[in-house]
Structure 1
Amino acid sequence: MGVEDKYLNQFKAGKKEQYAARCAFFLAGFTVTTWAPMIPVIKERLQIGDDVLGLLLLCIGISAFVFMPLAGILNQKLGCKKMLQINIVLFALILIIISSLDNVWSFVVFLLLFGAVMGTIDVTMNMNSVIVEKLSKKRIMSSMHAFWSVGCFCSAGLFSVLAKQGLNITTVAIIHGIIIFVLCLISSPYFLAYKGASNEKPIAIPHGIVVLFGILACISFLAEGAIMDWSGIFLTEAKGLELSLAGIGYAIFSVAMLVIRFIGDRAVQYIGEERICVFGALVAGFGFLLVVLIDNFYLMPIGFICIGLGAANIVPVLYSLLKNQNDMPINAAVTAITCMGYTGVILGPALLGFIAHGIGIKFVFYLLCMLFIIEALLSKYIFKRLS
């Protein structure tokens, strides 16, 4: 038995720990989506253009990316339990403060803090979930990631209802903050106090098979970012849809991904991890191809459904596989693939924008199709190595 396995024997993960791990994902999605509807109001309040707004939003991404590796150090010092308790509360408090600011430079400061907390939570909740799944000896990773989407849907729906009642964004943020505090208070006793074995390096350069995991995560996150940021532009410019229908692609993709993640754990159990990754990547790639080739409005959603269904469980399976590799300790491995995956979210959409500007928006979707074919081949190679 290795040092890490001996250390893990100190912990247990029953139903309460599993529900708490899912709640961490729910709260992260709930908080992030509370911020998104505030953006138009804040833009109008500050009287800024798209260029300044873009730089403000970039603060979140850059800060999250910088703090993800540092989360490994903090987790080893404090443990997942304290890290999640502290950062979830900070997440809600910063959100409330942001909703009331009226100065650009104060926004820079608090958006940097917002990104730092978001990146830290992302690493910590995934680390907590990997350990909970390993101790539970049952597949639960897909359902955990599904609860992130549930948090997003609940937050967006509640925000819309409260806004229609005439409440300002600060009042809405306070109500959302209270919900976050209460759910954190209920679930936090059951977060694991996992710190990693004493001989682990909390930060390590990705190496071995973990690098390949990171590449797969990067492609999957890139696709999600592309659908979120570019599908509306693609549908209005390349397909000629009305502006009111610009968000339909992302909505269909999100629902498909949510549904398949809820049944994903059982699907992986019956179909197998390798088929989920290999065939999932091929289905997602086929979906991007359909989106480009189909012009019929009523058939076009099939492409977005395929992308959501195919890509939904790849990342959860990757996190689950980390417990089967020996190249890096779990703490460092989770940090590594989260950072590499997040590169796809932060830098990917911007890079795709340059490609769209130079070659055309359709080529972006052809490129994503090819990337998922590469992901299928790479997945096949990874499972061959693991076996």
Structure 2
Amino acid sequence: MNEIAQTITSTAAPTPIVTRERVAVALLFFLNGLVIGAWAPKIPFFSQSLGLTELMLGVMIFVFGVGSLVLMPIAGMQIARYGSRRVVEITTILFIPTIVLVTLVDNLWTGAVAIFLFGGLTGAMDVAMNANAVEVERKMRRSIMSSCHAFWSLGGLCGAATGGFLIASIGVVGHVLLLAAVCLVLFLVARPMILSDAPHPSDEQARAKLPMTPLPWLIGTIALFCMIPEGTVLDWSALYLRNELNASTEMSGFAFAAFSLTMAVCRFAGDFIRDRFGAVNTLRFCGVAAIIGLVMAGQSSSVTFALIGFAITGIGISNMVPIAFSAGGNIPGLAPGVGLSVVTTMGYSGILFAPSLIGFVAEHTSLSSVYTAIPALLIVVLALSRLARHADRASGH
């Protein structure tokens, strides 16, 4: 019996921490984050080149969100049909040129089409690389999702931190051409190592059956209210520093860079922190940190103080979304794919659509007021924080 037990244990033992497939999916997350991070300091130039008011920029960001929510479910259906490897390859190679496209547009309508494709292919690639990460987790029998999202944040940090300097040094067009070339190299390195997976047609059927119990929707609300601040920092922080705190072009990108740096570090440590303190306590600590950081950024009278606020916000937001996603996938009596689909859709709608509404608000108030008011959403998250206990069930699988 002992020999049989040892055999079973050895068979179920996790694979090495680093594998080719894990490196590949980490590179994909980094690539996506790099482009999105580089987009942050480009937003003021995009707005200026098209002559957009804050209200009109809000509409453009709304179009970005529409693109994502249109192409994300299409990507999901194609993953069910062909597997995540094929879809992630196609979406990545289509996604890379879109950052060039949004730079070259010179009128409102082509700008709208370009940002629709940019947002749509961002979302489609996001779905595909997350699906591939799940398959890598299954093969490795080891949790890697938190670190994958950490690599996304690391990419965002690199894109945002270098964007302002590169734009000032080689111009807007030179910056995106260099960015596209780097992304193409990253993709070509990752491609041979991407895990090939079988199609899962049953996943599509499972997602089609929406749950009637309130629990997944409440956990989805947590994800929604955690991702709204993230989207607001991504899309509006550079404009906030530049227009309201008189930051230079080089400094404007550092808001999202500071946010991404602390988020990346805390996500790499996220699994350990959650195991040590539990999902509920971790969510509560993160919520309080995010509230403090956003209020600091919103009430700041200097660029330096605002950057510190955005960095603290990154600490707070870092592990809130992974906890919400884990909880959604571990709801008792509910298939993981069903609960997770509700939570992820609600969460991503926050990061995609809410920032566009910020434009309408900022038009009549200020971005300072926006960053000061958004913590009210995180107070709701704190009120629902007990639901995060379902995330701890993941450690029992």
Q: Same fold (TM over 0.5)?
A: yes
Which residue is 1:147 aligned to?
A: 151
Which residue is 2:278 aligned to?
A: 272
Which residue is 2:96 aligned to?
A: 92
Identity of aligned residues (%): 29
Is the contact between residue 139 and residue 269 of structure 1 (CA under 8 Å) also seen in structure 2? no
Indicate which of 377, 383, 386 corresponds to 2:383. Answer: 377
AA partner of residue 140 (structure 2): S
AA partner of residue 119 (structure 2): G
Which residue is 1:67 aligned to?
A: 71
Question: Compared with structure 1, are the counterparts of its residues 63 and 384 closer, same or farther at alpha carbon in structure 2 (3 Å cutoff)?
Answer: closer
Question: Compared with structure 1, are the counterparts of its residues 194 and 154 closer, same or farther at alpha carbon in structure 2 (3 Å cutoff)?
Answer: farther
Q: CA deviation at 1:71?
A: 2.6
Aligned equivalents of 2:358 and 2:27: distance in 1? 33
Question: Compared with structure 1, are the counterparts of its residues 108 and 362 closer, same or farther at alpha carbon in structure 2 (3 Å cutoff)?
Answer: closer
Q: CA deviation at 1:80?
A: 1.0
Aligned equivalents of 2:111 and 2:236: distance in 1? 26
Which residue is 1:23 aligned to?
A: 27
Greater CA drift, 298-307 or 130-139? 298-307
Question: Compared with structure 1, are the counterparts of its residues 101 and 369 closer, same or farther at alpha carbon in structure 2 (3 Å cutoff)?
Answer: closer
AA partner of residue 140 (structure 1): I
Aligned equivalents of 1:44 and 1:162: distance in 2? 18
SS in 2 for 1:222: helix
Q: CA deviation at 1:60?
A: 1.5
Is the contact between residue 79 and residue 194 of structure 1 (CA under 8 Å) also seen in structure 2? yes
What does 1:32-181 align with in structure 2 at a 5 Å threshold? Answer: 32-43=36-47, 45-46=49-50, 52-157=56-161, 159-160=163-164, 162-166=166-170, 169=173, 171-181=174-184
Q: Does 2:187 align with 1:184?
A: yes
TM norm structure 2 = 0.77
Which residue is 2:233 aligned to?
A: 227
Which residue is 1:281 aligned to?
A: 287
Aligned equivalents of 1:31 and 1:317: distance in 2? 25
Question: Compared with structure 1, are the counterparts of its residues 185 and 194 closer, same or farther at alpha carbon in structure 2 (3 Å cutoff)?
Answer: farther
Is the contact between residue 203 and residue 335 of structure 1 (CA under 8 Å) also seen in structure 2? yes
Greater CA drift, 250-259 or 284-293? 284-293
Q: CA deviation at 1:164?
A: 4.9
Question: Compared with structure 1, are the counterparts of its residues 335 and 269 closer, same or farther at alpha carbon in structure 2 (3 Å cutoff)?
Answer: same
Aligned equivalents of 1:26 and 1:339: distance in 2? 22
Question: Compared with structure 1, are the counterparts of its residues 213 and 187 closer, same or farther at alpha carbon in structure 2 (3 Å cutoff)?
Answer: farther
Greater CA drift, 349-358 or 73-82? 349-358
Give deviations 1:222-255, integer Å, cap 9, x for gaps: 1122334566787899xx8544577765544333
Question: Compared with structure 1, are the counterparts of its residues 192 and 202 closer, same or farther at alpha carbon in structure 2 (3 Å cutoff)?
Answer: farther
TM norm structure 1 = 0.78
What number of residue pairs does the alignment pair up? 374
Which residue is 1:316 aligned to?
A: 322
Give deviations 1:235-290, integer Å, cap 9, x for gaps: 899xx854457776554433322221222233223333332223222332344455
Question: Compared with structure 1, are the counterparts of its residues 40 and 283 closer, same or farther at alpha carbon in structure 2 (3 Å cutoff)?
Answer: closer
Q: CA deviation at 1:17?
A: 1.9
Indicate which of 200, 214, 223 corresponds to 2:220. Answer: 214
Q: CA deviation at 1:82?
A: 0.8
What does 1:288-303 align with in structure 2 at a 5 Å threshold? Answer: 288-289=294-295, 303=309
Aligned equivalents of 2:43 and 2:255: distance in 1? 21
Greater CA drift, 80-89 or 337-346? 337-346
AA partner of residue 372 (structure 1): L
Is the contact between residue 288 and residue 368 of structure 1 (CA under 8 Å) also seen in structure 2? yes
Specify every segment of 5 or more residues in structure 2 that has no aligned partner in the other structure, as ranges. Answer: 1-11
Which residue is 1:6 aligned to?
A: none
Indicate which of 338, 344, 350 corresponds to 1:344. Answer: 350
Question: Compared with structure 1, are the counterparts of its residues 133 and 273 closer, same or farther at alpha carbon in structure 2 (3 Å cutoff)?
Answer: farther
AA partner of residue 193 (structure 1): D
Which residue is 2:4 aligned to?
A: none
Aligned equivalents of 2:97 and 2:184: distance in 1? 9
AA partner of residue 33 (structure 1): G
Aligned equivalents of 1:369 and 1:216: distance in 2? 13
Is the contact between residue 136 and residue 195 of structure 2 (CA under 8 Å) also seen in structure 1? no
Aligned equivalents of 1:97 and 1:226: distance in 2? 23
Is the contact between residue 20 and residue 194 of structure 2 (CA under 8 Å) also seen in structure 1? yes
SS in 2 for 1:138: coil
Q: CA deviation at 1:99?
A: 3.7
Is the contact between residue 280 and residue 386 of structure 2 (CA under 8 Å) also seen in structure 1? yes
Greater CA drift, 47-56 or 251-260? 47-56
Q: CA deviation at 1:203?
A: 4.0
